[in-house]
Structure 1
């Protein structure tokens, strides 16, 4: 019997693992001898940041929760490693599957490899080239000890080849986040609450900001929000606020009637808003993928991106972190003069099928 341990810890991870779990359950129902354990590292411990996802994405409750949330980067890494090593010693699988680039991805990869357990990395090979981002270090270290890379783009494949990884380890499969997006789109729902009742399709913006470069310096955060308010010409801006950003915003005293700061939203509600927005303003990577596939204009407030395909073939533009540079991009969105989604190869909703087929071909399951 093939046995796999699937790791998730932070909000984006759940979207990436959901279709893989659905495929494994399907294989079990077809009588294929495969078993998996779902391990939640507890990296995101706020219910809105993770709890709702099990229900909305129709995935089972985790078999284990490691309770690894809180603390510094080093404390969180260490805490998850210690707890995950114990989990693996008690429930040793053939392979550990990690996704994305969060602290949990790094910690669990190291713990697995030190116990001589194979690691598969979903979203392997993506790079921003920016070592000031903790995520970039997580990607590089995880990839350096990975046995199977499941990649989202030819750019990621090229990055891995340049690093000297063998071709047979690189599996170009597509993007599981898009599997989830396509499967869940019919279930998107308008969020409850007065703010959302009067929103008109195509007549509001969605914004997310959480990266330290944008939110940790008050004067920079205020300048960016002032530029956004000016460029969006009074249209409503829905801003689900990340906990770290909320703290920094409190002291800024920004008072704009069209800026609606909300609690983090569930997956179905948030993507309903993105799908119907005039545009998206973000510093997140995953949202640029979803906005592109839904053909919604998107601007990224970063100086680099690990998802260049969203710029070449998607609806994303890399603006940088200088508020002055944002103005012409918002003008183009307001005028309806934005590029269209060109289609990204293998982002077709069938990525998880390809991943599970490769795993079952690689590990005995009779």
Structure 2
């Protein structure tokens, strides 16, 4: 049996692809939701829209600092793992849920499989970067979405158990894009014409924890909005921060968080994406929408090299090309095949 730990929006999307593949291969999975993203619009709707099984355990851990949150997750995950006795623990990405799941499993001598291993921004001030590094060094099976991720691990001396499989988020994008076009009414609800707007999101601590930097990001977005109006779904942390500001954002329309189908439809019909989200950088490429990353670096260097992404302060877009590393939409199946072989072996 595989025990899967999830807690945040990007993990729900990735888990949808892998959970479907696990079920198709006849493998039993126990899903644990840490509660890191607990708002219905950031959690429940993703399970419903993506057909993810309801979690067997919901730890309801949220709204705390990094240390407190990770510590509480570690304690509760250890209890769940002792009760469930999994053969392997599966974690995704770079959140507190990820590193807590990896640490709890490793301390109990349970093999860890990390999906989206090997990513590096090389900025250790980011909590996500620390989570990635710790999780990779605790993992027995490292599933990398790109060749650069494989090279990063090799540079850190990690070569055993490394698999380049493509990107499981691309799998979901391919299977849900048409469904979003058919079933999402987000453009009608917001009275938007296709290709008449840009999409923006801000949630990373490096932007939201520094008031001066947050103000600079908002000013940058307002400058961009002079050309194209911006639709901005608000992360709860960002919504609270904006409420504290005595500032009216011009040509930036603030809306509540969106489910996956609505966000997919909104993104697909946009002319540009402005974001500090790693997942949204990739999703912009999947839909072939130019992206500007509101950070000083990105772990998704392929999107920069291929000319679909650029940093908000830095060189303009490179010449555009395709990114073959993300695969052909069967990354989750490849992952499950290799996991199954490892568990049998």
Same fold (TM over 0.5): yes
Q: Is 2:166 the counterpart of 1:174?
A: yes
Out of 314, 327, 337, the residue aligned to residue 347 of structure 1 is: 327
Q: Using the TM superposition, give the Cα deviation of residue 276 of structure 1 relative to its aligned residue in structure 2, in angstroms.
A: 0.7
Out of 351, 356, 365, the residue aligned to residue 336 of structure 2 is: 356
Q: Is 2:190 the counterpart of 1:196?
A: yes
Q: Is 2:128 the counterpart of 1:135?
A: yes
Query: Any stretches of 5+ residues in structure 2 without a counterpart?
Result: none
Out of 263, 270, 283, the residue aligned to residue 277 of structure 1 is: 270
Q: How large is the Cα RMSD of the aligned pairs?
A: 2.0
Q: Using the TM superposition, give the Cα deviation of residue 304 of structure 1 relative to its aligned residue in structure 2, in angstroms.
A: 1.0
Residues of 1 paired with 2:84 and 2:173: CA distance? 32
Instruction: Encode CA deviations 1:295-344: one digit per residue, 9 max, x unaligned.
Output: 10100011111111111125111224xxxx6xx96xx8xxxxx8545133
Retained in 2: the 8 A contact 1:118–1:146?
yes
Instruction: Encode CA deviations 1:40-70: one digit per residue, 9 max, x unaligned.
Output: 1111111111111111111110111122222
The residue number in structure 2 matching 1:162 is: 155
The equivalences for 1:27-106 within 5 A come to 27-28=25-26, 34-106=27-99
Corresponding residue SS for 2:28: strand
Residues of 2 paired with 1:78 and 1:256: CA distance? 38
The equivalences for 1:201-216 within 5 A come to 201-216=194-209
Q: Using the TM superposition, give the Cα deviation of residue 192 of structure 1 relative to its aligned residue in structure 2, in angstroms.
A: 4.4
Normalised TM-score (structure 2): 0.94
Query: Any stretches of 5+ residues in structure 1 without a counterpart?
Result: 29-33, 333-337
Retained in 2: the 8 A contact 1:97–1:121?
yes
Q: Using the TM superposition, give the Cα deviation of residue 356 of structure 1 relative to its aligned residue in structure 2, in angstroms.
A: 0.4
The residue number in structure 2 matching 1:31 is: none
The residue number in structure 2 matching 1:245 is: 238
Normalised TM-score (structure 1): 0.89
Retained in 1: the 8 A contact 2:8–2:36?
yes
Residues of 2 paired with 1:224 and 1:67: CA distance? 32
* CA distance 1:314–1:8, shift in 2 (3 Å): farther
Residues of 2 paired with 1:339 and 1:269: CA distance? 30
Instruction: Encode CA deviations 1:263-292: one digit per residue, 9 max, x unaligned.
Output: 111011011111110100011111010101
Residues of 2 paired with 1:223 and 1:191: CA distance? 33
Retained in 2: the 8 A contact 1:293–1:314?
no
* CA distance 1:220–1:194, shift in 2 (3 Å): farther
Residues of 2 paired with 1:214 and 1:152: CA distance? 26
Corresponding residue SS for 2:67: helix
Q: Using the TM superposition, give the Cα deviation of residue 364 of structure 1 relative to its aligned residue in structure 2, in angstroms.
A: 2.1
Corresponding residue SS for 1:345: helix
Corresponding residue SS for 1:363: helix
Q: Using the TM superposition, give the Cα deviation of residue 346 of structure 1 relative to its aligned residue in structure 2, in angstroms.
A: 4.0
* CA distance 1:292–1:209, shift in 2 (3 Å): same
Q: Using the TM superposition, give the Cα deviation of residue 202 of structure 1 relative to its aligned residue in structure 2, in angstroms.
A: 1.4
